[in-house]
Structure 1
Amino acid sequence: MNDVLKAHVEDRVLEVTLDRPPANAIDLATSRAMGEVFATFRDDPELRVAIVRTEGDKFFCAGWDLKAAAEGAAIQGEYGVGGFGGLQELPGLNKPVIAAVHGMAVGGGFELALSCDLIYASATSTFGLPEINAGTLADAATIKLPKRMPYHVAMELLLTGRWMPAEEAARWGLVNEVVPDGEAVRARAWETARLLASGPPLVFAAIKETARAAESLGFQEALDLVTSSRLPTVATLYSSEDGVEGFRAFAEKRPPVWKGR
């Protein structure tokens, strides 16, 4: 795509690589470009799963580009269609996204990983929210972290800015799995991505929309949305060919063939 963002497509999987040395920090232009990439992924029926990774061994992503800010770039400028990093505010993204974290995930880089559905990390990866030391708010992380891990642990990260190693992040359920190194984390992400790409895309879409809707609703209200097919992805699934393919495949003793329709 360009020198900063690289795309690789294979087996219906889109791998997006951020390569912006030395720290893979994200400025406004990069954020807007990332949003365009992920919006294209969202809208392309041939693409089923995305992997987000970065180049380099030291940083997964340092978050907001402080050098650009020091040179006058507005922190509250136009981040693009998906918000900061192209993912966390992208509407209607109903496909699985996997983060392959290697190195330090700092501030907005940590938030970029949190915007994904699955997170794999290398053993040397670390996660931190140093915004407190700069007198500012890690806004997305402040909203998300207390829902992803025990409240008191999340608040410790937010209030102190301390670093959390990958093994501890896994212990709190913040990452799915820790693997030895950067090569292994990429391989693990691809292994899962291929598995998901072979699965039922309409079901994945319904899972993601249902989970988003349920965040702000009580159990019964959320369940009523699903059972009444008031969520668009659920309505599509229940009226689709794929909606009965699994049952047919079981009865016919064959693997299901998912068509996404």
Structure 2
Amino acid sequence: MSDLAFSTLLYEERDGVAFVTLNRPERHNAFDLTMADEIHSLWKTLRHRDAVRCVVVTGSGDKAFCTGIDRDVQVPQPSSPFMVDDPGVALGPKTADLWKPVIAAVNGMACGGAFYLLGECEFVIAADHATFFDPHVSYGMVLAYEAVHLAQRMPHGELARLALLGTAERMTARRAHEIGFVSEVVPDNEALADAAAWAAATIASSEPGAVEGTVRALWAAREMAKGQALGLAPHLVQLGNISAERQAELFRGRAKGDGWRAR
């Protein structure tokens, strides 16, 4: 249950986890300006919502996670070629300064502007029938912003192939897992929902400061030079660590080491 309501998103909270569903299935969950505004507003809202400690985002239906921007959307542009209004930028949780972990549960096609969102999630779980591709070059467009996001998550040759073959080829969930873009592949959408919910609930059960500080550190390691990231590390530890007494309590409670699963 939740007091938040949207026209292009479904939203639910359970046990510290926010479940966000892109809800334009008739358009393969392609985003329009309303969805871009709503999801950006949601990310901003979740920064202040202490009850939410982890987020799962997926798409409505079983055909598509998100197929980028709706091609019927007209985006007014500045007259200067040095300035661009790109609504896809609003999709990313990190762009909105949200440092609670976001898990993507990909339930079908993911292409184009979907990579703004996938590029700023902590990790991706995919149903076996999910596919990934980018149509930009097939339509005479430059793949730029999405390529920058994906370059942080997949080998150069794999990204170049995905980018340059356009609509002629789709990367399967299995191949995405082999190259490290997807962390887990499950048989179907029901298993996808279960896997994402389990991971999110596990994360949400940990101390929020420790989780958010770790997310910050992971992104610092990805985006900064090594020396800069290491310089930030002691500050993150100081901000996010709980007391030594509380750490000892948690250690005693979990010292048996059972309750884990292999992946």
**Which TM-score applies when normalising by structure 1?**
0.85
Q: For residues 157-194 of structure 1, give each alpha carbon's deviation from its aligned partner in whole angstroms, at most 9, with x where no partner exists.
A: 11222310110000001001111111111111001111
* Structure 2 runs not aligned, ≥5 long: 78-83, 256-263
Asked if 2 retains the 8 angstrom alpha-carbon contact of 1:120 and 1:176, the reply is yes
Change (3 A) 1:216 1:124: closer
Amino acid at match of 1:11: D
Amino acid at match of 1:110: F
Match of 2:13 in 1: 9
Match of 1:235 in 2: 238
Q: Residue 27 in 1 paired to residue 27 in 2?
A: no
Match of 1:259 in 2: none
C-alpha distance in 2 between matches for 1:88 and 1:137: 24
* Structure 1 runs not aligned, ≥5 long: 257-261
C-alpha distance in 1 between matches for 2:40 and 2:245: 34
Asked if 2 retains the 8 angstrom alpha-carbon contact of 1:28 and 1:77, the reply is no
C-alpha distance in 2 between matches for 1:255 and 1:40: 33
Asked if 1 retains the 8 angstrom alpha-carbon contact of 2:54 and 2:102, the reply is yes
1:8, distance to aligned residue in structure 2 (A): 0.7
**Counterpart pick for 1:67 among 45, 69, 72:** 72
Structure 1 stretches of 4+ with a deviation exceeding 6 A read none
Q: CA RMSD in A?
A: 2.1
**Counterpart pick for 2:90 among 52, 70, 84:** 84
1:1-261 matched pairs, under 5 angstroms? 1-22=5-26, 23-69=28-74, 73-74=75-76, 76-77=84-85, 79=87, 83-87=89-93, 89-91=95-97, 93-161=98-166, 162-227=169-234, 229=235, 233-238=236-241, 240-241=242-243, 244-250=245-251, 253-254=252-253
Matched residue SS, 1:254: helix
Amino acid at match of 2:15: D
Asked if 2 retains the 8 angstrom alpha-carbon contact of 1:206 and 1:234, the reply is yes
Amino acid at match of 1:247: A
Percent identical residues: 32
C-alpha distance in 2 between matches for 1:190 and 1:113: 17
Asked if 1 retains the 8 angstrom alpha-carbon contact of 2:22 and 2:60, the reply is yes
Change (3 A) 1:113 1:221: closer
Q: For residues 12-60 of structure 1, give each alpha carbon's deviation from its aligned partner in whole angstroms, at most 9, with x where no partner exists.
A: 1000111113211111121011111111112211110001011112111
Change (3 A) 1:60 1:249: closer
C-alpha distance in 2 between matches for 1:31 and 1:195: 29
1:86, distance to aligned residue in structure 2 (A): 4.6
**Which TM-score applies when normalising by structure 2?**
0.84
C-alpha distance in 2 between matches for 1:21 and 1:237: 39
C-alpha distance in 2 between matches for 1:118 and 1:205: 15
